[in-house]
Amino acid sequence: MISTDPRRLTVLGPVAAIAIALAVQALLIFGPFIPFWMNDFAVYQGAGHAVLAGLPLYGTSFLNGALFTYSPFAAVLTVPTALLPAVAAQFTWTVAGYLALSASIWLALRITGATTARRHTAVLVAACTAGASLLAPVQLNVLLGQINLVLMALVLLDFLPSLPERYRGIATGIAAGIKLTPLFFVAYLFFTGRRRAAYQALAAFAATALVGFALLPADSRTYWFQGTFYDATRVMTNDLVVNHSLPGFLARVLGESTAPLWALLVAGVVAVACLAAAVWAWHRGHDVVGLLVIAFAAQLVSPVTWVHHAVWVMPALIWLATAGWRRATALPRALLVLTAAWYCAPLWIVGMSGPTEVPFHFTPAGNLFVTLTGIVVPAAIAIALLPVWLPRLRPVEPERARPEQGQPERGRPEQVPPQVTPTG
C-alpha cells in the first residue's frame, strides 16, 4: 500500500513535482525540435527489443546505424523500455533521469555535510534540480536519453556516511556492471582502506556479469571474450571534436582516427597520478575531493568522453559552494560562478565551425581551441593545482567516510582508549 503520510509527501512532493515538470517540458519543447532527441535511448530500447527477439546484441545496428556498447547485463535492464510505447518510454525515462539527478543532489548535500531540516532539504533539492537542468552535461543527458545520471547516483550512494558497511560498494559494482568506468571508483575505495567496500563492489560487478551469462550467454561471450568491451570505435572515432578526453586530443594532433597505443599508455600514467592525488586528498581528510578527482580523472583518461559524461560537475558545484576554507576569501565564490557558466555555455562548440573542406577542429588552431575549452579543462587544472589549494581547506570535512570498523585509518595511528583504573 502506498503511504500518504503528509510528512513524507511534504518531503518528496517538491522533488517529484519538479522532476515531472522538467520531463514534460523536455518532451513537449525539446522533442519536436531537437533532431537528436532520445537518440541514445533509442539504442537502449532497441537493445531491449533485440533481447526479446533473440537477435545478436552486438551484431545488430539501431537508430542511424548506432551500435550497443554496454554490457549484456545492461541490455537485460533495457527490456522494460521495449515493452512500452515509444512516447511513454521516453517520458518515463526522462522522469527517472531527473529523479536520479535529484537523488544525486541530495546525496551530494549529505556527503558534503550540508544538511538541513528535511522539509527545507526537499525544497533545496528541487531548486538545485531545476538549476542543474541548465548545465550542458545534464541537458544532453536528457536530450539524448543517456544513463549517466543514474550511474552517478549509484556511485554517490556508496559514499553516503550513514550507509551501513554491509551495503557499501554494491551500488558502484552494479554501476560498473552497466558501464565499466565506475571501476575506477573501486580502486579509490581499495587504496583508501575501504577494502570491504571494494571487495563488495567487485562481487556485485561479477554478479552482473554472471546474470548476463545466464540470460544472454552468446552475447556475453562476444562482449567479454572477443574484445567488444574495450572497442572504443563502436562508439565513434577518437578524433572527433565531441571527444573531450586526452586520447581524443592526441588523436586529433596526430590526425589519426584512433588514439595510438602510446597515447593510451600516457592516459594510463595520468590515471595512476590522479588516483594517487585522490588518495592523498583522502589522507588529508577530504574524501569528497578525492571522489571528485576520481570522477573527473575517469573522463580525462577515457578513450572517449562526451559532454554528457561530465554530469559530475553538479556535485562538484555543491562541494565548491559548501567547502570550508582556512581564510575567508571571495575566490571560491568567483570560481563557483565561473564553473557554472563554463558548463552552461560550452565554448568548445565554436570549434565545430570553420571551412567545410578542412574542419576547424582538425587544424592546429582549431584543435587547440577545442582542447582548451573542453569540459574536462577546469577539472584538469584543479587536479594539477591540487597541492596548491588543498592545504587551504579546513582540515576535516563533516561525516568523512572511514575504513571498516576495527581498522585504523591508513596513515594515522590507531586511537587507544584510555584505561580507567577503579579506585577505592
Average of per-residue pLDDT across 265-294: 96
Q: Report residue 239 as a C-alpha cell.
A: 578524433
Q: Say how far apart CA 145 and CA 45 lie, in whole Å.
A: 10
Amino acid at 319: W
Q: Say how far apart CA 366 and CA 360 lie, in whole Å.
A: 5
DSSP letter for 363, please. S
Q: Say how far apart CA 41 and CA 87 lie, in whole Å.
A: 11
Q: How would residue 351 be classed by pLDDT, with cut points 50, 70 and 90?
A: low
Q: Mention every residue, 6+ apart, whose C-beta is less than 8 A from residue 76.
A: 51, 211, 212, 215, 216
Q: How would residue 385 be classed by pLDDT, with cut points 50, 70 and 90?
A: very high
Q: Is the pLDDT of residue 3 over 70?
A: no
Round the CA-based radius of gyration of the chain to a whole number and report it.
22
Q: Is the dihedral of CA 245, 250, 252, 255 positive or negative?
A: negative
Amino acid at 231: D
Q: Say how far apart CA 55 and CA 61 lie, in whole Å.
A: 11
Q: Report residue 409 as a C-alpha cell.
A: 585509518
Q: Find which of 177-186, 338-347, 353-362 is predicted with most confidence, using mean pLDDT.
A: 177-186
Exposure on the CB side of residue 289, measured as CA atoms within 13 A: 30
Q: Is the pLDDT of residue 330 over 90?
A: no
Read off φ and ψ for residue 138, nearest 5 degrees. -70, -45
As a whole number of Å, the end-to-end CA separation of the chain is 60
> Would you state the pLDDT for residue 73?
98
In which region does residue 3 sit, left (phi positive, over 0), alpha (psi from -120 to 50) or beta (all else)?
A: beta
Q: Say how far apart CA 291 and CA 198 lie, in whole Å.
A: 14
Q: Mention every residue, 6+ apart, whose C-beta is less than 8 A from residue 356.
A: none
H or E element at residue 22: helix 6-25
In which region does residue 226 sit, left (phi positive, over 0), alpha (psi from -120 to 50) or beta (all else)?
A: alpha
State percent of the chain over pLDDT 70. Answer: 81
10-51: pLDDT as tens digits: 556 666 777 777 777 666 666 666 777 889 999 999 999 999
Q: Say how far apart CA 189 and CA 272 lie, in whole Å.
A: 14
> Would you state the pLDDT for residue 124?
85
> Would you state the pLDDT for residue 247?
87
DSSP letter for each residue of 204-255: HHHHHHHHHHHH-HHHHHHHHHSSGGG-GGGT--TTSTT--SHHHHHHHHHT
Q: Mention every residue, 6+ apart, whose C-beta is less than 8 A from residue 92.
A: 81, 84
Cβ neighbours of 226 (radius 10 Å): 10
> Would you state the pLDDT for residue 329?
81
Q: How would residue 422 be classed by pLDDT, with cut points 50, 70 and 90?
A: very low
Q: Say how far apart CA 385 and CA 170 lie, in whole Å.
A: 32
Please, what is the average pLDDT of the chain?
A: 83
Q: Mention every residue, 6+ apart, whose C-beta is less than 8 A from residue 246.
A: 263, 266, 267, 270, 300, 301
Q: How would residue 410 be classed by pLDDT, with cut points 50, 70 and 90?
A: very low
Q: Find which of 352-366, 377-391, 393-407 is predicted with most confidence, using mean pLDDT.
A: 377-391
Q: Is the pLDDT of residue 218 over 70?
A: yes
Of residues 28 and 160, more confidently modeled: 160
Q: Find which of 20-34, 217-231, 246-260, 362-376 is predicted with most confidence, using mean pLDDT.
A: 217-231
Read off φ and ψ for residue 216, nearest 5 degrees. -135, 70
Distances (CA, A) of 84 to 80, 149, 232, 400: 7, 21, 30, 42
Average of per-residue pLDDT across 237-246: 77
- Name the residue with cell 586530443: 249
- Name the residue with cell 536519453: 145
Is 277 buried (19+), middle (13-18) or exposed (0-12) by CB count in 10 A?
A: buried
Amino acid at 166: R
Cβ neighbours of 157 (radius 10 Å): 20
Helix axes 287-301, 183-191, angle to 10 degrees: 140
The predicted model scores a pTM of: 0.86
